[in-house]
């Protein structure tokens, strides 16, 4: 289903409230809440609202375990552009999550150690009973996570090559495209699919054409987000400009 909100702020508060309700219902059962998280501009207001709920309304993250979708490769966690830095600055440094419950693909691994790391990432998620909820943005290539065009629907966590358009879109953060890593470690489409609930968010007119393809287009690895059409537990949360090309 597609839900269109008046603006990203209202939509983000809605998503944050759903995450908060999940966390609280798990707390009531003494169970962990397992969250799949995204970086980028899109989820920033969701994280800001979760921080507010923690600071002003006592929402605790003590029972929360997180798995981020992706990280550039290679990437030092301390680098300004790392997704570790992003998550710390936007969420983890401001809530009471136990940092040992935070998982982000490791951009410092030796190449030969990546396959084992990726299998272990999948196993950790599986051992916890899977992701309760996965938050997604969408890239202009149609990527979810860093599953670029050509990704298989059953793909798992792995090292991938970033699309040129993705690197161009990231150029501003890195001070030029040539400084954007060519690779990333990302959860696969298959990993994302196993989440019990998937929420894809998109804001602004810039995302309208890829949202039209993702929601209404032919299902194909050329637009990886189209695979979400095959899921019965995905929701597209849009603002009006991002939804403006939908029929």
| Shortest Cβ 193–ligand F6R spacing (Å) | 15
CB nearer to ligand F6R: pick between 63 and 215: 215
CB nearer to ligand F6R: pick between 70 and 132: 70
Q: Is the torsion defined by CA of 139, 145, 148, 151 positive or negative?
A: negative
Q: Which of residues 142-201 bind ligand F6R (CB under 6 A)?
A: 143-146
Q: Does the footprint of ligand F6R cover residue 105 (CB under 6 A)? A: no
Q: Where are the beta strands (DSSP E) in the chain?
A: 2-5, 33-37, 64-68, 70-73, 102-103, 133-136, 158-161, 183-186, 198-202, 234-239
* Interatomic CA distance for residues 105 and 188, integer angstroms: 12
* Interatomic CA distance for residues 44 and 48, integer angstroms: 6
The residue within the footprint of ligand F6R, chosen from 36, 107, 137, 224 (CB under 6 A), is 137
| Shortest Cβ 232–ligand F6R spacing (Å) | 22
CB nearer to ligand F6R: pick between 138 and 228: 138
Region of 48-56, 120-128, 138-146, 227-235 interacting with ligand F6R (CB under 6 A)? 138-146
Instruction: Give the active site residue among 71, 148, 197, 235.
Output: 148
Residues with Cβ within 8 Å of 135's Cβ and at least 6 positions away in sequence, in order, are 15, 19, 35, 36, 37, 38, 43, 46, 199, 201
Interface ranges with ligand F6R (CB under 6 A): 38-42, 69-70, 137-139, 143-146
């Amino acid at each position: 289903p597609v839900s269109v909100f008046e603006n990203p702020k209202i939509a983000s508060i809605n998503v944050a409230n759903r995450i908060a309700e999940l966390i609280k219902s798990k707390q009531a059962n003494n169970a962990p809440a397992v969250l799949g998280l995204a970086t980028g501009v899109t989820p920033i207001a969701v994280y800001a609202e979760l921080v507010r709920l923690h600071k002003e309304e006592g929402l605790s993250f003590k029972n929360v375990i997180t798995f981020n979708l992706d990280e550039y490769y290679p990437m030092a966690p301390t680098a300004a552009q790392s997704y570790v830095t992003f998550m710390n600055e936007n969420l983890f440094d401001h809530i009471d999550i136990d940092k040992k419950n935070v998982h982000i693909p490791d951009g410092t691994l030796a190449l030969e150690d990546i396959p084992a790391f990726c299998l272990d990432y999948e196993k950790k998620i599986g051992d916890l009973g899977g992701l309760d909820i996965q938050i997604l943005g969408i890239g202009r290539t149609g990527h979810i996570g860093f599953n670029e065009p050509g990704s298989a629907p059953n793909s798992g966590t792995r090292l991938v090559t970033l699309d040129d358009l993705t690197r161009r879109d990231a150029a501003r953060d890195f001070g030029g495209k040539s400084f954007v890593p060519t690779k990333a470690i990302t959860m696969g489409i298959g990993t994302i699919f196993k989440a019990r609930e998937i929420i894809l968010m998109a804001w602004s007119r810039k995302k309208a054409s890829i949202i039209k393809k993702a929601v209404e287009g032919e299902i194909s690895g050329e637009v990886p987000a189209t695979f979400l059409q095959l899921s019965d537990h995905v929701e597209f949360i849009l603002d009006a400009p991002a939804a403006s090309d939908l029929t």
